[in-house]
Chain A
Amino acid sequence: MNVTRRKFIQITGASAAGLAVSSLGFDLTPIKSHAQMLKTKYAKETTTICCYCAVGCGAIVHTSKKGDGRVINIEGDPDHVISRGSLCSKGASLSQLTENDNRLLEPMHRAPYSKKWEKVSWDWALTEIAKRVKKTRDASFEHKNAKGQVVNRTTAIVSVGSAAMDNEECWIYQAMVRALGLVYVEHQARI
C-alpha cells in the first residue's frame, strides 16, 4: 500500500492507535521513513546520558528548530558503547519527563502560616534567600568550639543534595555551602 502525505495525515488523524498496533494490515515502511525525515529535517540532534540510574545509557534528543523549540523525541543512542541503543521503561519515557505539564515553571513562595503558594520572581526569591541565610548564619556563627579550637562554622543551616546535579554543579554547590561554613552537608549517597 502506497501511503501519500495526504493519506498519512488522514490515517494519523483518524486512528493513531490503529497504527501503533498495525491493525490496518499494511506495510508501515513508508510511514516510518517519512517520520524519520520529519525528525531530522526540523530538529536539532543532541546526545545525552539518561538521568535515572547509574548505568549511564546514551540517548539522542531531537529538539524542534522551529515553533516552540521543544523536544520532539528522545530515543536510545545506538552508538553508545554501553547501552547500544537500549533504554529501560524510565529511559524510554525521558521525553515525558521533559515535556510534562506537572513541572515547576516559576519560583514559588510559601509565607509562614500560609495555606498557599505564591508565584514570585527569581530576583526576589534569591535576594530574600540570601537575606535569610545571612541572618541565620550571622546569629549562629561559631568561631571557636567549646574547647576553644577555631572552627568557623554554622550548624544552624544544613544542606541535603544532590546526585541529580551535574559534576560541575556539585562542585560549585559544595564550594558555596562550605564557604558559608556549613558542616551538615549531605546527599543521596548517605541514604
Chain B
Amino acid sequence: MTNHWIDIGNSDCILIMGSNAAENHPISFKYVQIAQAKGAKLISVDPRFTRTSSKADFYTALRSGTDIAFLGGMIKYILDKKLYNKEYVANYTNAPFVVEKAFKFSNGVFSGYDAKNRKYNKSKWAFNMDSKGIPKMDRSLKNSRCVLQLLKKHFSRYNTKLVSKITGTPEADLVEVYKTYAATGARGKAGTIMYAMGWTQHTVGVQNIRTMAMIQLLLGNMGVAGGGVNALRGESNVQGSTDHCLLWHIWPGYLKTPRASNVSLAAYNKKWTPKSNDPLSANWWQNYPKYSVSLLKSFFGEKATKANGFGYDWLPKVDDGTDYSWLTLFDEVYKGTVKGLFAWGMNPACSGANSNKVRKGMENLDWMVNVNIFDNETGSFWKGPGMNASTIKTEVFMLPACVSVEKEGSITNSGRWMQWRYQGPKPLGNSLSDGDIIMELGLKLKEVYKEGGAFPEPILNLKWDYMTDGLYDPHKVAKEINGYFTRDVKVKGKLCKKGTLVPSFGWLQADGSTSSANWLYCHSYTEKGNMSARRSKVDAPNNIGLYPNFAWCWPVNRRIIYNRASVDLKGQPWDKKDWVVRFAGKVKNGKYVSKKWIGDVPDGGWYPQENPDGTKRKDAKYAFIMRKHGHAQIFGPGRADGPFPEHYEPLECPIEKNLMGKQRMSPVAPVYGTDADAYATCDPRFPFVCSTYRVSEHWQSGLMTRPQPWLLELQPQVFVEMSKELAKLKGIKNAERVMVSSARGSLECTAIVTKRFKPFKIAGKTVHQVGVPWNFGWRWPETGTEESANLLTPSTGDPNTRIPESKAFMVNVTKK
C-alpha cells in the first residue's frame, strides 16, 4: 500500500475491484465504513456479488479477466471530459515527455515485438532526449508525441459500447462508475483503490494495476490522504518477506540479484545505479552502492573487505535473461533437475497453480525439508490421493515450527507498518521458532563445510552471530537489519562510533564503514530503541490518522509515500482539510528563505519547486524521487508487455476473438511445455469461466485454519458457486456434490446455487462464470474429500512477475 489502513477512512470514493476486502481483510472495512459515514462513495466491481458488494453504494459485475477494458474505458472518459488534474499531470507525471517515433501500436502489439521469441525490444519505446540527456518535455501537453496525446490515442478505442461487449458490464453501469470515480479529480477530493489477487493473478496482472495507477495519477490521487494505490496483501508478513526479498530476482531492500554479466561489485553497482542528468531529479537510487555494500557487510561482517569486493563473488549469480520464478521452479522439479526442496512455512501442494504438476514433481526429488505448524499436503504428498508410497523415493524431513505467539519478532503489515510481537507461552512440545531452526541448521552447515566441499567460503564466512545463550535472538537480527557503523567514521560532520546503530539510511556509506541488512529498514532499530515496539495513540498535528509514534513504517516512518505530490508546486496541500504535508518555511520578498515541512515525514526535505511569488527554484526536486527522471510514469517503458496497458483475453477464455484488437492473449505471457501443462481455450469441453477466491473463515491454502474445529465447522467443505441459470442448465441442485474439471485436473465440490453470479452477455453470447475457493486440501479435514482449487489452475502467468493466472481460466461443471 502506498497509504495505510487507517487512511482509507480519509477517502471520498473507494473503488474495491480485484479484492473482496469485507471477507478477506475484514477489519479493513472499519475504515471503509468510517469513510462512508462521512459521505464517501463505495464502488464494488466484481464478477460475483460479495459481502463487499453488499455494503457498496454501487455494485456492478464484469467478466473475470477484463479489468483493463473496464478501466481503459475510464481513462478515455477522464480524458474526453477533461476531468484530470492538469497541474498535477503536467508537473508530476511523465505526461509531458516526448516519445521517440519508433514507438507504435498496431495489430494489437507494440513496436519492437519479436514473435519468434515472444519478447519485446524495449528500446523502441524510448523518450526523446535533449542535448544534455534530459527527456524533452512539453508541459502544455500539446505536442502530438507527448505521453498524454499518445495516451488519448491509445485509449480512443475503449468506448463504452465496445467495453460493455467485452466485460459484460452494462454501458449505463460503466458510465455510473466512471462518473462517480472521476469526480475525485477535483482539487481536494481523494479516491482510493483496494485491490488484491483479483488483479495480480492474470496474464495481464501488472498492467491491471498500472491502468489503475495511471487513473490515480490523472486524477491527482497519488500521495494524498485517502488516495494511493493500495494492494491488500494477504499474509501477515508478506510485505516483510517481500522487503527482505525471499524472491529470486531481488536482494533485501529491492536491490537486484546479480546477473552473470555483472562480473564484479563495481560492474554490478554501475549496471544498477541509474543516472540522471537533470539537476531537478533527486534520482534516489543514485545511492544504490551505499545500500549494496552495506548489505554485503551484513552478510559477511568483517570477512567482507574492500579488497575482496565485500564478498560479492561469494554470492550466487543468475543467468541474464533467464527466469527462476515459482512456475519455472516447479517446472524444473517436474522435469527432475531438482534434487532437494525446502518448503518452509508453505504448502505448494495446495497453493501452487496446476497443483497436480507440483505434487507429481515432488516424486522426483531426492529429499524435501517441510517446516510447518501442522502436517500438510506437501510434507505428506507421498500418501496423498493417487500416490503409491512404495514407489516414491523422496526422503522427507518434517520439522515442527511454533506459532507466532510463542516467539518474539516483528512483522510488517500491508500498510508497511513494522510491528513487534512478544512471546506468550513457550513453543508447544518440541516445536521451535523458525529462527531457532534456521540458526541451528546454519551451524550444522558450517560444521559440515569445515571439512571441505564445493566452494565453502560463503558458508563459512556468513556472519551468524544472532544467538544469545544458545538461542536465536530476534533483537540481534533486527539491529543488523537496521545496520551499524563498522568503524569510527565522520558522517555529516558528526563522529559516529564503531558498533553504534545507524540513525537512518541517509547515513549509509559505500566504503564498508556501515552495515545494513536492509536499507529500507534503516531507522527501525536505532540508538533510540526498537521503533516497531512503540505504542503511542497520539496522532500527528494534521489529524489524519498517521499515528507516527505507533509502531514504525518504512521508509523512515513515512506513512504516506509520494506525499510531496499531495502539495502544489509551492508546497501547499491540494486538500486544505485532510492535508498530509505542507511547506512552512519562512518567506521573504515572495521567496522561501528557510526549509521546513510539517505533517508526515516528507518524501525528501528539499524546497518546493516554486516560491510563493511563482518563481522557479533551482534547489528544488521533482516530486517522485524514486524515479530516474523524477516523474511518475503514465508511460512505462520498463514493462515486459508494453508501455501502455492493452486489453488481452486470458490464456483460457470463452471467446475466439479479442474484440479490442487482433492479438487475442498477451503476446508475451509465459507458457510451459511438459505433459502436465495442458491449456484449453474456447474448448466446448470447458465452457465456463472460473475464478478462485477465499472465504473469511479460512486462510490461503487453509493449513492454518482447516485443523481448527471452530473454523472448520463454519466452512467445512470446498464448494463451487454458480448462478441459478447455470444450475438450471446443468440440472444441478443447491448443496449437491458435483465435479469441477479443467484441462489439468478435477475436484469434487458442493454446489452452491446463488443469485450472486449472473450470466454475462459477451459479444452477444451468454457466458457463465463459476467460482471455487482455494482454501482446501485433502489432509484436513481428515475425511480427505475436500481438495484444492489449484488442481484446476493453469501454469501461466504475468510476463513481468509470473504470478499465475488463477483468476480467469476455463472449466466444466458436471453432476457426479
B708 lies within 8 A of A172 (CB) = no
B241 lies within 8 A of A165 (CB) = yes
A106 lies within 8 A of B246 (CB) = no
Query: How far, in whole Å, are A108 and B480 apart by their CA atoms in the complex?
Result: 33
A103 lies within 8 A of B373 (CB) = yes
Chain B residues near A1: list those with CB within 8 A.
none
Chain A residues near B223: list those with CB within 8 A.
none
The answer to whether residues A186 and B6 also contact, given A49-B421, A54-B236, A173-B434 and a CB cut-off of 8 A, is no
B351 lies within 8 A of A188 (CB) = yes
Query: How far, in whole Å, are A89 and B26 apart by their CA atoms in the complex?
Result: 9
B410 lies within 8 A of A74 (CB) = no
Chain A residues near B252: list those with CB within 8 A.
171, 174
Q: Which chain A residues (44-64) contact chain B, with CB distance < 8 Å?
A: 44, 46-58, 61-64
Nearest CB in chain B to that of A119: its residue: B430
Query: How far, in whole Å, are A160 and B383 apart by their CA atoms in the complex?
Result: 21
A183 lies within 8 A of B318 (CB) = yes
Q: Which chain B residues (234-283) contact chain A, with CB distance < 8 Å?
A: 234-248, 251-252, 257, 260-261, 263
Q: Is the interface of B mostly helix, strand, loop or mixed?
A: mixed
Query: How far, in whole Å, are A144 and B237 apart by their CA atoms in the complex?
Result: 35
Contact pick for B411, options A114, A152, A156, A167, CB 8 Å: A167
A168 lies within 8 A of B340 (CB) = no
Q: Is A136 an interface position by the 8 A CB rule?
A: yes
User: Which of A16-24, A27-35, A123-131 has 4 or more CB atoms under 8 Å from chain B?
Assistant: A123-131
Chain A residues near B237: list those with CB within 8 A.
54, 163-167, 170
Query: How far, in whole Å, are A169 and B415 apart by their CA atoms in the complex?
Result: 20
Nearest CB in chain A to that of B382: its residue: A110
Chain A residues near B316: list those with CB within 8 A.
151-154, 178, 181-183
Q: Is B672 an interface position by the 8 A CB rule?
A: no
Query: How far, in whole Å, are A171 and B438 apart by their CA atoms in the complex?
Result: 10
A52 lies within 8 A of B236 (CB) = yes
The answer to whether residues A162 and B535 also contact, given A56-B417, A103-B428 and a CB cut-off of 8 A, is no
Q: Is A90 an interface position by the 8 A CB rule?
A: yes
B425 lies within 8 A of A69 (CB) = yes
Contact pick for A149, options B263, B298, B332, CB 8 Å: B263
Chain B residues near A98: list those with CB within 8 A.
403, 405-406, 424-425, 428
B393 lies within 8 A of A113 (CB) = yes
A130 lies within 8 A of B447 (CB) = yes
Query: How far, in whole Å, are A166 and B518 apart by their CA atoms in the complex?
Result: 14
- Give chain A nearest CB distance to B82 CB in angstroms: 38
Q: Is A71 an interface position by the 8 A CB rule?
A: yes
- Give chain B nearest CB distance to A187 CB in angstroms: 4
Chain A residues near B480: list those with CB within 8 A.
171
Contact pick for B345, options A94, A134, A162, CB 8 Å: A162
- Name, among A96, A109, A165, the residue most crowded by chain B CB atoms within 10 Å (CB to CB): A165
A170 lies within 8 A of B699 (CB) = no
Nearest CB in chain B to that of A46: its residue: B422
Contact pick for A151, options B251, B319, B341, B696, CB 8 Å: B319
- Name, among A158, A167, A173, the residue most crowded by chain B CB atoms within 10 Å (CB to CB): A167
Query: How far, in whole Å, are A22 and B300 apart by their CA atoms in the complex?
Result: 62
Chain B residues near A188: list those with CB within 8 A.
234-235, 238, 241, 346, 351, 700
A130 lies within 8 A of B444 (CB) = yes
Q: Is A9 an interface position by the 8 A CB rule?
A: no
Flag B696-740 by CB within 8 Å of A: 1 or 0 each: 111110001101111100100000000000000000000000000
B236 lies within 8 A of A160 (CB) = no
Query: How far, in whole Å, are A186 and B344 apart by their CA atoms in the complex?
Result: 10
Q: Is A176 an interface position by the 8 A CB rule?
A: yes
Q: Which chain B residues (338-364) contact chain A, with CB distance < 8 Å?
A: 338-346, 348, 351-353
Q: Is B102 an interface position by the 8 A CB rule?
A: no
Chain A residues near B24: list those with CB within 8 A.
53
Chain B residues near A94: list those with CB within 8 A.
405
Q: Is A36 an interface position by the 8 A CB rule?
A: no
The number of chain B residues touching the other chain, given as a range, is: 35 or more
Chain B residues near A111: list those with CB within 8 A.
395
Nearest CB in chain B to that of A162: its residue: B345
- Give chain A nearest CB distance to B410 CB in angstroms: 5
Query: How far, in whole Å, are A128 and B478 apart by their CA atoms in the complex?
Result: 30
Query: How far, in whole Å, are A126 and B342 apart by their CA atoms in the complex?
Result: 13
The answer to whether residues A129 and B444 also contact, given A100-B708, A102-B374, A167-B410 and a CB cut-off of 8 A, is yes
Q: Is A2 an interface position by the 8 A CB rule?
A: no
Chain A residues near B691: list those with CB within 8 A.
none
B324 lies within 8 A of A183 (CB) = yes
A152 lies within 8 A of B346 (CB) = no
Q: Is A157 an interface position by the 8 A CB rule?
A: yes
Contact pick for B445, options A61, A133, A182, A183, CB 8 Å: A133
Nearest CB in chain B to that of A114: its residue: B389
Nearest CB in chain A to that of B367: its residue: A132
Chain B residues near A3: list those with CB within 8 A.
none
Chain A residues near B325: list those with CB within 8 A.
186, 190
Query: How far, in whole Å, are A150 and B393 apart by their CA atoms in the complex?
Result: 33
Q: Which chain B residues (662-717) contact chain A, with CB distance < 8 Å?
A: 696-700, 704-705, 707-711, 714
Chain B residues near A104: list those with CB within 8 A.
372-375, 398-401, 431
Q: Is B432 an interface position by the 8 A CB rule?
A: yes
Query: How far, in whole Å, are A137 and B442 apart by their CA atoms in the complex?
Result: 15
Chain B residues near A91: list those with CB within 8 A.
27
Which residues from chain A sit less than 8 Å from chain B, CB to CB? 44, 46-58, 61-64, 69-71, 74, 79, 81-84, 86-91, 93-94, 96-100, 102-115, 117, 122, 125-134, 136-138, 140-141, 143, 145, 147, 149-191
**19 interchain pairs, CB-CB under 8 A:** A46-B424, A47-B422, A48-B424, A81-B537, A96-B709, A115-B390, A129-B367, A134-B453, A136-B339, A147-B260, A158-B342, A165-B237, A165-B241, A165-B345, A166-B407, A175-B517, A176-B445, A183-B316, A189-B246
